[in-house]
Amino acid sequence: MERSNKTIRKGTKSNGSGKDIDNQANGNRKKTEHQQFIGAATSQTISGIAKDMEQITKGLQENHEEMLITLNKITSDINSITENIDDIRENYL
């Protein structure tokens, strides 16, 4: 009896023990999540985190100072407008 599909399937690459060496997930399944990311490019060191926190703190301080300047300007404008309204009430009403 002749096979209808005569194409030969290509086998997977194996390391001699019958395990597929192209399957990258094999090794990671047995490791915990923490072990999988040891030495990964996405992990940060404590000094890196501290440096990021310093930059964020500096940015927040700059924003705070800008907000205070804007608030003082707005307060000054409000006081000026209030004085003008009081003058108008005294002189014209």
Identify whether 30 is part of a domain.
yes
Instruction: Examine the pLDDT at 84 and tell me if it is beyond 70.
Output: yes
Residue 93 pLDDT grade (very low, low, confident, very high; cuts 50, 70, 90)? confident
* Tens digits of residue pLDDT in 47-69: 999 999 999 999 999 999 999 99
Domain that holds residue 86: 25-92
For the chain, what is the mean pLDDT?
A: 78
Identify whether 37 is part of a domain.
yes
Identify whether 8 is part of a domain.
no
Number of domains, the chain: 1
Whole-angstrom CA distances from 81 to 75, 77, 84, 86 are 10, 6, 5, 9
